[in-house]
C-alpha cells in the first residue's frame, strides 16, 4: 500500500528529544524552541518567529494581535481548511468568502476589492499547495483600505513570491508543522511577525497574558499578569523533533521536489491529451512541493479514479468541502459574488501521495496506474 502521507523523520529526532529531556526543560521555550525560531527567522527574514502549538493557534494569536472584534469582516477564500475561518469566528468576526482562481486554487486577487465594506478589517490569503497568492495586489488593496493581512502559510514554508518568503508579506504569517506538512513536530506551528511593535504583546498573549518571556530573558525580576492571553507555546520535546527536520530542510525540500517533478513529467502527456489538468505555478512563485494534485473532468470521474487507485494499493485523497457550503460556514460567514470556481474546481481536485522518502519507482507506479485508468 502506498500511503497518501508518511510523517517526515530524518533520524535525529529521538536523539534531540532525549537531549530536551536531559536539559530538564521539557516545557516551552527551551533550547530547541529557540533553535527552531532562530532557524525560521534566518530562513525567512521575518522580524520574529514564535513557535506555537499549531497553525490554528498561530492564526488565533494573529487575530487577537490584529484586534479583530465582533462584527468585523475578514476576506478569505472558501477553498481552505476550517482553521483559516475559525480563528476569526472565535473573535465574533464574519468570514467573507470570495471566489478562487481555477489555475492556482488561491483567492482571486481581482475579486477582493469588490468585497471590501466599512466593516472589513483584514484579508486572510491562503497559499494553497505552497504556491503564493498574488501578494503585490493583495498588499496594495490592504494598504489603500487600511486592512491587516494575516497569511495562512500553513503549507507555504520554504516557498517564495518574487524571492521573498511566504508568511513575511502580511502583518502576520502562520506556518503549520502538523504531521501532514513538509516539516513536522506532530502538532505545531509558528507565528511570523513583520513589525517589531507587535512582538511584546505577542509574547504576552502566547504566555497566558504574562510577561514571562521578558522575565526569562532577565529583563525584569518578576513576572505578572499584564494582558489577556492563552497558552500557545509547544513543549520543547516537540520542538526537538522539528529541529531535526529543519536542520535537513534543504534535503527534504529537494526530495519532495524530485517527486513533484517526476509526477509532472510523467503525467504531462495525459494533460496534453486533455484528460487531466496539472498544477500551475506562476512565474513569480517558487513552490515547496507541498502537494501534487491533478484535476479530473468532474466529481464522478474523481470518485472512480480514487476507487481504481485504492484497488491498486494507492491512497489518493481530496479535500476542502468549500467552507460556505458547510453548516458552520453558512452560520458564521457569507460568500461575496459568484461561486464560479470554488465548488466546481474543488470537486475535480485529487491529491496524489506526496511525502519525504516517496520512491521514484512508487511515483512511476502511481503515474502508470493513472494512465491505465484513462486508457
Nearest distance, CB of residue 179 and ligand PLP, angstroms: 9
In the stretch 45-74, what mask flags binding to ligand PLP with x, by CB under 6 A? Answer: ---------xxx------------------
In the stretch 233-272, what mask flags binding to ligand PLP with x, by CB under 6 A? Answer: ----------------------------------------
The answer to whether the CB of 155 falls within 8 A of the CB of 161 is no
Binders of ligand PLP among residues 160 to 179 (CB under 6 A) are: 176, 178
Quick one: the chain helix, strand, coil %, rounded to 5?
A: 40, 15, 40
Nearest distance, CB of residue 83 and ligand PLP, angstroms: 4
Which one, 154 or 289, has the nearer CB to ligand PLP?
154
Among 44, 46, 49, 83, indicate the residue that binds ligand PLP (CB under 6 A): 83
- How do strand 160-161 and strand 164-165 relate by DSSP bridges? antiparallel
Which one, 58 or 94, has the nearer CB to ligand PLP?
58
CA angle 287, 321, 116 (to 5 degrees): 75
Which one, 267 or 354, has the nearer CB to ligand PLP?
354
What CA–CA distance (Å, rounded) separates 49 from 89? 24
Q: Which three three-digit cell numbers place residue 301?
A: 470521474
DSSP 19-58: HHHHTT--SSSSHHHHHHHHHHHHHH--SEEEEES-HHHH
Helix, coil or strand: residue 352: strand
Assess 80 for contact with ligand PLP (CB under 6 A): yes
Which one, 178 or 275, has the nearer CB to ligand PLP?
178
Nearest distance, CB of residue 63 and ligand PLP, angstroms: 13
Residue 240 C-beta-side C-alpha neighbours within 13 Å: 22
Stretch that binds ligand PLP, among 38-46, 151-159, 244-252, 280-288 (CB under 6 A): 151-159
Q: Taking Cα atoms as reference points, which of 203, 200, 153 lies closest to residue 40?
A: 153
Nearest distance, CB of residue 308 and ligand PLP, angstroms: 26
Binders of ligand PLP among residues 185 to 224 (CB under 6 A) are: 189
Q: Taking Cα atoms as reference points, which of 187, 204, 247 lies closest to residue 13?
A: 247
Residue numbers of the site for ligand PLP (CB under 6 A)? 54-56, 80-81, 83-84, 126, 152, 154-155, 176, 178, 189
Amino acid at each position: 500500500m502506498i500511503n497518501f502521507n508518511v510523517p517526515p523523520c530524518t533520524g535525529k529526532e529521538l536523539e534531540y528529544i532525549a537531549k530536551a529531556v536531559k536539559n530538564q526543560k521539557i516545557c516551552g521555550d527551551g533550547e530547541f524552541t529557540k533553535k527552531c525560531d532562530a532557524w525560521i527567522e534566518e530562513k525567512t527574514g521575518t522580524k520574529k518567529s514564535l513557535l506555537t502549538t499549531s497553525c490554528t493557534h498561530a492564526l488565533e494569536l494573529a487575530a487577537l494581535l490584529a484586534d479583530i472584534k465582533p462584527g468585523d469582516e475578514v476576506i478569505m477564500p472558501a477553498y481552505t481548511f476550517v482553521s483559516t475561518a475559525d480563528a476569526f469566528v472565535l473573535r465574533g468576526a464574519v468570514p467573507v468568502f470570495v471566489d478562487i482562481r481555477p489555475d492556482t486554487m488561491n483567492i482571486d486577487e481581482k475579486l477582493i476589492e469588490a468585497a471590501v465594506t466599512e466593516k472589513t478589517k483584514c484579508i486572510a490569503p491562503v497559499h494553497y499547495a505552497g504556491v503564493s497568492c498574488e501578494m503585490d495586489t493583495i498588499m496594495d488593496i490592504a494598504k489603500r483600505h487600511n486592512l491587516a493581512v494575516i497569511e495562512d502559510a500553513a503549507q507555504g514554508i520554504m516557498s517564495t513570491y518574487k524571492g521573498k518568503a511566504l508568511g513575511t508579506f502580511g502583518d502576520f504569517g502562520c506556518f503549520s508543522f502538523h504531521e501532514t506538512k513538509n516539516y513536522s513536530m506532530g502538532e505545531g506551528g509558528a507565528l511570523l511577525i513583520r513589525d517589531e511593535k507587535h512582538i511584546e504583546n505577542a509574547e504576552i498573549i502566547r504566555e497566558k497574558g504574562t510577561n514571562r518571556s521578558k522575565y526569562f530573558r532577565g529583563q525584569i525580576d518578576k513576572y505578572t499578569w499584564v494582558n489577556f492571553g492563552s497558552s500557545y507555546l509547544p513543549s520543547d520535546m516537540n520542538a526537538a523533533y522539528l529541529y531535526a527536520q529543519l536542520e535537513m530542510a534543504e534535503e527534504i525540500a529537494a526530495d519532495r521536489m524530485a517527486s513533484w517533478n517526476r509526477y509532472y513529467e510523467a503525467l504531462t502527456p495525459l494533460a496534453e491529451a486533455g484528460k487531466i489538468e496539472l498544477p500551475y505555478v506562476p512565474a513569480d512563485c517558487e513552490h515547496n512541493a507541498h502537494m501534487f494534485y491533478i484535476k479530473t473532468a468532474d466529481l464522478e470521474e474523481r470518485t472512480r479514479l480514487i476507487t481504481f487507485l485504492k484497488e491498486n494499493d494507492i491512497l489518493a485523497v481530496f479535500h476542502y468541502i468549500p467552507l460556505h457550503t458547510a453548516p458552520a460556514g453558512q452560520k458564521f460567514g457569507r460568500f461575496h459574488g459568484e461561486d464560479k470556481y470554488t465548488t466546481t474546481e474543488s470537486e475535480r481536485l485529487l491529491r496524489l501521495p506526496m511525502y519525504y522518502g516517496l520512491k521514484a519507482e512508487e511515483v512511476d507506479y502511481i503515474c502508470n496506474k493513472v494512465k491505465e485508468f484513462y486508457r
